[in-house]
Structures are given as structure tokens and as C-alpha cells.
Structure 1
Amino acid sequence: MMLAAEPVWASSAEPLAALHARCFDAGWSAREIGSLLNLPGCIGLACRVDGKYAALALFRQALDEAELLTLATDPAYRRRGLADILLTAGETRLFDQGVARIFLEVSQNNPGAAALYQRAGYAEVARRKGYYRDGSDARVLEKWLRKDGQTGP
């Protein structure tokens, strides 16, 4: 079975919120996810396995920069490349829309996600002390998608 990223909309907020709750202790509600997906510049992508959402990525673009708001993979489907698929698809779409760089935050207590982002070319540019509810620091990462005059990845 070929897994691929597909766009998601606010109309899918309920199952996406259920997925997010399986991934994080403080998962986002359907209202929060729906509100984000209704914002201009917000891109939602998901992967399905057997017809059910197994991974989700939300990006928000502002001019030539973007932020990865969340990247969530159902624990039952981790280590199958779903996060890589979503991250690559999102970066490609944002690049095509003129985005030069992407930012994200990742908890210092999430080495699996940190390794994924490092493999994908993200580098730490700052720390936010005590950013998360558990008191852990957020590592602020960035990735340049294009340099001035670049027309391809």
C-alpha cells in the first residue's frame, strides 16, 4: 500500500482531534484544529492507513516564512515514515508558494522528533525555557528551503 499526504480541511477536525489526542497528553480540540484550518495561510496534510487518519501536519504560512504548528503520528503507526511523508510534502508545497524558511518548536524531551527534524535538515536557533506544560524547554528549529534567486529545492 502506497502512503501519501492528502490535504485536510476543517470539516475533518473531529477525527483529526482524536488523532492529536492519541499523540499528545494535551491534544488539541476539534474546535482548535478547525479554527486553525480555517485561517488564511494554514495548510493541513494527513496520511491515512486503512482509511483512518494516522498522521497529521499543520503548517501556517506568513509571506515567505512558515511554521510547523504540529506534526503528530498515531503511536500505533510510528516509525513507518508517515512523519517524513508529511514533512516533505509540506515543505514542497510551501517552497512552491515562495516560502524561504520554516520554523518549529520541539520539546527537549522528545528525542524521536528532534532526530526526525535533524535528519530533515532543521537546525536549532533558540531555546524557550519552560515553554511546555511539563516545564520542558522548547528547542526552536529552522530550515531554509530557498536562498535568494533559487528556483528549485
Structure 2
Amino acid sequence: MSRNEVIFRRFEPRDADDAWLLHRRASEAIGVRGPEGVWEDDLRDIGEVYIASGGDFVVAHIGSKLTAMGGLKPIDDDVAELKRVRVDPAFQRRGLGRRILSELESRAVALGFKWIKLDTTMIQVGAQRLYETAGYIRRRERVLHGYAVIFYEKWLAGQHDDVT
């Protein structure tokens, strides 16, 4: 394994502190880091909230550094919510966000989800571009926790029921 090779794998409990730090660092870099609050409680129990619930959570490492992450949180049998997609600011613009997104979409299909829903803030222009170029459709906007938020969804190819 080379020093610069990116390794994608499922979250493990030993990743908890690094995942929290990545979340806070990435949020601060884009200007959406507020005081800690209950809206971040999912990151304090990733194994339970994402994996044990029937979803998944993926991390990417370059060497020993956690550089990107993201989760799938089940809403119901057909729909998963994409959450906590973060890329370390020092590793942005290298395709890690797109690769995490692709990995999570593949896992969603394997888990049997038909739709992915997500939200991102208006100020996260890079995230909007990522989701829109990956086929996500903008559905609505509203204010959430003091931020203007865009809600997206995507039908996962190959997951539709044939109707004749």
C-alpha cells in the first residue's frame, strides 16, 4: 500500500474520535459550524445510528489519516438518507467526495434501498454541484437550524419494480 493510496472501508469504533474531528473541521471550513448540539448526536454513536439500524457508514483513509466519510441512515425499507458526507479540507478537490458518494450509493443498492434523500446548505456550493452532477434532483428548500437548506433525492438505478 502506497502512502497516498485511498482505502475505503466501513466505519469501526476506533474511528469515532477522528470522524468527530473531521466533521467539525470540515464544517468550520465551509462556514456551517455552530455550537455543538443535539443535531450532531448521530456522530456520537455511528455504529448504532447508521450500521445497526440497517444503513452503513464509510470512511476513507490515506495512510493513517481519516480523510473522508459519509453515512446512510434508513428512513424506511425503501429510502435511506445520505448524511455526514465530509472531506478533510486539506484533501478536497481530489475526487474523494465523489468516491464516497459512489461507495454509499453502491451500498444503498446492496442494502435494497430504492431512493436516497439528502440535504445540504445553500452555502455549500461544492456539495450542490457534487449531488447535481451525480443525478440528484433538487426538491425543495427551507430554513433548518438557521441555515437555508436544499433537499435532494435520487432514484437508484436498477431498483425499480417492473410495472407492465
TM range (shorter): 0.7 to 0.9
Query: CA 1:66/1:114 → structure 2, altered by over 3 Å: closer, same or farther?
Result: same
C-alpha distance after superposition, 1:31-85 (max 9, x if no partner): 6413232131231101111211001101112311100111000100001111111
Could you tell me which of 4, 12, 31 is aligned with 2:15?
12
Could you tell me which of 15, 18, 43 is aligned with 1:33?
43
1:131 is matched with 144
Instruction: Find the aligned partners of 1:49 and 1:16 in 2 and give their Cα distance.
Output: 14
What one-letter code is carried by the residue in structure 2 that aligns with 1:125? R
What one-letter code is carried by the residue in structure 1 that aligns with 2:70? A
1:21 is matched with 24
Matches within 5 A, 1:56-67: 56-61=69-74, 62-67=76-81
Could you tell me which of 135, 142, 153 is aligned with 1:142?
153
Two-structure CA RMSD over aligned residues (Å)? 2.2
The reply to whether residue 96 of structure 1 matches residue 107 of structure 2 is: no
C-alpha distance after superposition, 1:115-153 (max 9, x if no partner): 00011110111112x214xx3311100000032249xxx
Flag structure 2 segments of 5+ consecutive residues without an equivalent: 28-32
Asked if structure 1 preserves the Cα contact closer than 8 Å seen for 2:56 and 2:107, the reply is no
- State, as a whole percentage, how many aligned pairs show the same letter: 26
Instruction: Find the aligned partners of 2:10 and 2:21 in 1 and give their Cα distance.
Output: 17
2:101 is matched with 87
Asked if structure 2 preserves the Cα contact closer than 8 Å seen for 1:22 and 1:75, the reply is yes
Report the secondary structure of 2:138's partner residue.
Answer: strand
Flag structure 1 segments of 5+ consecutive residues without an equivalent: none
Instruction: Find the aligned partners of 1:75 and 1:15 in 2 and give their Cα distance.
Output: 14
Runs of 4 or more above 3 Å deviation: 26-32
* TM-score between the two structures when normalised by the length of structure 1: 0.86
Query: CA 1:28/1:122 → structure 2, altered by over 3 Å: closer, same or farther?
Result: farther
* TM-score between the two structures when normalised by the length of structure 2: 0.80
